[in-house]
């Protein structure tokens, strides 16, 4: 799956792995994620790197039982969307999360391919 580099995204994963996660913020306070040149909300191009809040909150989640081949050995697994300040992230989560659970974001890997992915852990 990830057999090519994705400049901007790969560095962002490195930063999260190192405990220095960030999002991009325009002068109007809109948050977005890399790779990004232009604020999707207002078109501003002066995007600043802002530290990602340490705690996020799960807004929705699902336990996936039928996966694509790249996650075949991971099933069942939980995918969640969690809000970290002005941005939301999507990641594989601890199996007992619910809507409202506080989580941190780490870098984990797919059991099937070993590819890096976002992982939400209960705080």
Q: How far is the CB of 73 from Zn ion (least distance, A)?
A: 40
42 touching Zn ion, by CB under 5 A: yes
* Secondary-structure percent of the chain, ordered helix, strand, coil, rounded to 5: 10, 40, 50
Using the contact rule CB under 5 A, the part of the chain among 42-50, 83-91, 93-101, 107-115 near Zn ion is: 42-50
Per rule CB under 8 A, is residue 63 in the interface with other proteins?
yes
31-32: strand order across its sheet: 31-32, 22-25, 48-51
Q: Is there binding between residue 30 and other proteins (CB under 8 A)?
A: no
Cα dist. 28→15, 31, 35, 78, 85 in Å? 24, 9, 19, 34, 14
Out of 89, 97, 101, 103, the residue judged to bind other proteins by CB under 8 A: 89
Please give the residue ranges that form the binding site for Zn ion (CB under 5 A).
Answer: 26, 28, 30, 39, 41-42, 44
């Amino acid at each position: 799956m990830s057999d090519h580099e994705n400049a901007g995204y790969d560095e962002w994963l490195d930063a999260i792995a190192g405990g220095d996660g960030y999002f991009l913020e325009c002068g109007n306070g809109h948050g977005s994620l890399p790779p990004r040149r232009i604020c999707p909300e207002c078109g501003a191009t002066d995007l600043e790197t802002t530290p990602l809040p340490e705690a996020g909150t799960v807004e929705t989640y699902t336990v996936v039982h039928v996966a694509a081949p790249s996650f075949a050995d991971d099933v069942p697994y939980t995918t969640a969307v969690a809000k970290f300040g002005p941005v939301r992230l999507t990641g594989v989560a601890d199996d007992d999360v619910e809507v409202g659970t506080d989580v941190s974001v780490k870098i984990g890997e797919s059991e099937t391919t070993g590819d890096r992915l976002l992982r939400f852990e209960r705080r």
